[in-house]
Structure 1
Amino acid sequence: MSLLTKLKDAQKDAMRAKDKLRLGAIRMVLAEIKQREIDNRTTLDEAGITSVLVKLVKQRRDSFTQYTDAGREDLAEIEANEIIVLETFLPQPLTEEEIITLIDDAIANTGAAGMQDMGKVMGIIKSKAEGRADMGKISGLIKQRLSA
């Protein structure tokens, strides 16, 4: 079943269950997907939909941090609940060992020798790890490997 179909089915289930929080989060995702399709005049594939989900989760995490720092626990709780809903549609996260294996394979495949090859390595890893791992963390690990 495609990710878009899962989202639409989850939207129907949330409507039937009268789960306003879940319904709102799913509608937000579907609206963002539709907006990207209209802007780019294309139909998003699984990777495109996953990137939309990753972007929205990242935005929610940033908002959660800001609300928590500002003492707005009521708004922070809403963001945290939306993160939980959105993460149910993301692929299974990579383990630490899988990330290191991906990095080592990408370095070997590109023949990366130093920091100037960082972009090549990130390009390979991004397609495999998008939505399954924090790309900032992966970037830091690649820098450690290439500078060693």
Structure 2
Amino acid sequence: MSLKQQVTDDMKTAMREKDTSRLSTIRLLLAAMKQKEVDERVELTDTDIVAIIDKMLKQRRDSITQYEAANRTDLADQERLEMTILMGYMPAQLSEAEVAAAVDAVIAEHGKTPAAMGKIMAALKLQLAGKTDLAAVSAMVKAKMA
């Protein structure tokens, strides 16, 4: 079953169960998916959907930081709930050892020159998108390049 079909089925289930928080989060995800389909006039693949979810998760993390700074724990808790629901659609996260092995392999392939940093990150982004935090991967690459 495609990820798009799974999200649609989960929306129907949430409607039947009257799970309003889950339903609203899934509707936000479906709206973002539909918007991308309409804007780019393409049929989304699972990889495209994972990228959309990853972007939504990043937005939630940023919102949580801002809400906590403003002492709005009620809103921060709502964002955390949405993050939990969205994380259910992400592929299994890789361990730090698996990420380190992938980074080492790509660095060995492209070399340790500063000019290769862009190529290394591009290759890792294709390989690891949605499976780990790419900001942490970037920091790991920089540390290994030094």
The two structures have a TM-score, normalised by structure 2, of 0.97
Q: Deviations over 1:100-142 (max 9, x none)?
A: 01101111222x2222111111111111211111111000000
**Alignment-mate amino acid for residue 60 of structure 2:** R
Equivalent residue, structure 1, for 2:116: 117
| Cα offset, 1:33, TM superposition | 0.6
Mapping for residues 118-133 of structure 1, pairs under 5 Å:
118-133=117-132
Poorly superposed stretches of 4+, deviation over 4 Å: none
| Cα offset, 1:48, TM superposition | 0.5
Equivalent residue, structure 2, for 1:98: 98
Give unpaired runs (5+ residues) of structure 2: none
| Cα offset, 1:57, TM superposition | 0.6
Q: Residue 84 of structure 2: SS of its match in structure 1?
A: helix
Measure the CA separation in 2 of the matches of 1:142 and 1:96.
Answer: 13
Measure the CA separation in 2 of the matches of 1:144 and 1:60.
Answer: 28
| Cα offset, 1:43, TM superposition | 1.1
Q: Deviations over 1:36-86 (max 9, x none)?
A: 111111111111000000000110111011101100111111101000000
Equivalent residue, structure 1, for 2:28: 28
Measure the CA separation in 2 of the matches of 1:138 and 1:43.
Answer: 29
Measure the CA separation in 2 of the matches of 1:78 and 1:33.
Answer: 21
Give unpaired runs (5+ residues) of structure 1: none
Aligned-pair Cα RMSD in Å: 0.8
**Alignment-mate amino acid for residue 133 of structure 1:** T
Measure the CA separation in 2 of the matches of 1:84 and 1:113.
Answer: 37
The answer (yes or no) to whether the contact 1:32–1:52 under 8 Å persists in 2 is yes
The answer (yes or no) to whether the contact 1:50–1:131 under 8 Å persists in 2 is yes
Measure the CA separation in 2 of the matches of 1:37 and 1:79.
Answer: 25
Q: Residue 112 of structure 2: SS of its match in structure 1?
A: coil
Mapping for residues 47-58 of structure 1, pairs under 5 Å:
47-58=47-58
The two structures have a TM-score, normalised by structure 1, of 0.96
Measure the CA separation in 1 of the matches of 2:120 and 2:71.
Answer: 40
Aligned residues: 146
Q: Deviations over 1:16-35 (max 9, x none)?
A: 11001000111101100110
